Amino acid sequence: MASLRPMIQLTRWRAPAYAPAALRRCFATASDVRNTASAAQQQPHSDNRVKIVEVGPRDGLQNEKKSIPLATKIELIEKLAKTGVSVIEAGSFVSPKWVPQMDNSSEILEHILTNKIPSPVPITYSFLAPNAKGAENATALLKKHSGAYLTEAESFQGVGGKPAVELAVFASATESFSKKNLNCDIATSLERFRDVIQGAKQLGIRARAYISVVLGCPFEGHDVNPHKVAEIATSLLEMGADEISLGDTTGMGTAPRTQELLKCMTAAGIRNEDIAMHFHDTYGQALVNMAISLERGIRTFDSSVGGIGGCPYSPGATGNVATENVVYFLESLGMETGVDLDAMADIGQWISEELGRPNDSAVGKAVLGARSKAG
Ligand code: HMG
Ligand code: MG
């Protein structure tokens, strides 16, 4: 029974005053809703836009055993670009010995830089680059095609028509996972990331930084120290990272642990706008954990179309929470994602068929089912 106590407390929470009205209603009692409904109508919240980072082409595909043709990867990226998402994680400059599926990331970046991919909104294409070698490979292409992508300064001026590019490093919250995933300890990885982040800044592009296993580690269990996560995040922000994506790599995260982690981040002085949440849905807790994160003011979430994916260094971990589920959930709360759910559902079904696996998005399947019934 003791383990249920945090969840019972959760049902008694009151969302803070700055939370969106729809979310406040979720956690309120019926009489709270009656008392606050008219006030909420008078004061609409401007804080209801959520940024979705579509990670399917990288996190979704990296673990697939069968080699996926470059043309399919590019087709996936081009389809996603039409849905209204503003960030697509498109590849990974890592060792092909360890992650062979990402071997053609150079071709993908070059394709993005040399073809005008149609999209209704400006898109940032993100690529993992965890060390000097990865950063050099990405940077060589960016220098070759300088002028083909937007620098941060240009994006701020609203210059249109070109893609923006971002490099992403990935730290670990535990030493065991760091050794497995990065072949070095946390301190060494951070020193490597400093150079990658500085390299990105010199090119005038954004740098993202992941921290993996923040809510549970395949080797150290639930024993992940949230203060350590906050300390690593602070170091990465001080190096110049623009955003910290907190990775629940194993999907072991629960609502109370998500709450505790985000409280620690706030206590360490880290701003909500510098945080993204990256939930894998192994235990089906991703949307619950998202609700907690939303309530605490987080507005950036990573997700993967069709729920595809998994981490090669996290045995048993399934894909990220499906983008279709995330969009449906957020919009049910009255929040805006800018993402076309119908189009996303079609892509989820298409890529699942391409990969020869069942569609892992409940919402995707429901949307398609309802459409075929209506038609
Ligand atoms: P290393 O320290 O050089 O050692 O790389 P290594 O023994 O792993 O390197 C093996 C070979 O790869 C060497 O070549 C290196 O030169 C080469 P060899 O001498 O044998 O011919 N190499 C590279 N080749 C191309 N690009 C590179 C590169 N680096 C080394 N960048 C490193 C350490 C971590 C870079 C390497 O082990 C590696 O790439 N590992 C793969 C890690 C990975 O991709 N993990 C999955 C992504 S992270 C993730 O999924 C979590 C996330 O989604 C968030 C979450 O869910 O929590 C982001
Ligand atoms: Mg991941």
The residues of the chain scoring below 50 in pLDDT are 1-45
Give which of 167, 132, 96, 69 is closest to 312, Cα–Cα. Answer: 96
Alpha carbon separation from 97 to 50, 100, 171, 179, 213 (Å, rounded): 36, 6, 20, 16, 23
- Cα 276 from Cα 265, distance rounded (Å): 12
Test site for ligand 1: of 53, 58, 87, 95, most ligand atoms within 8 A of the Cβ: 95
**pLDDT score recorded for residue 311:** 62
- Extract the tokens encoding 10: 């959760």
SS (H, E, C) 290-355: HHHHHHCCCCEEEEEHHHCCCCCCCCCCCCECEHHHHHHHHHHCCCECCCCHHHHHHHHHHHHHHH
**pLDDT score recorded for residue 47:** 87
CA of 199 to the centre of ligand 1 (A): 18
CA of 221 to the centre of ligand 2 (A): 17
- Cα 314 from Cα 305, distance rounded (Å): 20
> Which pLDDT tens digit goes with each residue over 268-322?
999 999 999 999 999 999 999 999 999 999 999 999 999 999 666 667 778 999 9
**pLDDT score recorded for residue 29:** 37
**pLDDT score recorded for residue 155:** 80
Test site for ligand 1: of 61, 94, 214, most ligand atoms within 8 A of the Cβ: 94
- Nearest-atom index, ligand 1, CA of 247: 57
Domains of the chain: 46-340 (3.20.20.70)
> Which pLDDT tens digit goes with each residue over 315-331?
777 899 999 999 999 99
CB 145 within 8 A of CB 160: no
Which residues touch 106 (CB under 8 Å, ≥6 apart)? Answer: 93, 137, 141
**pLDDT score recorded for residue 161:** 81
Q: Which ligand is nearest to the CA of 247?
A: 1
Which residues surround ligand 1 with Cβ inside 6 Å? 59, 62, 92-95, 97-99, 128, 130-131, 133-134, 137, 170, 181-183, 210, 212, 247, 249, 278, 280, 311-313
**pLDDT score recorded for residue 148:** 95
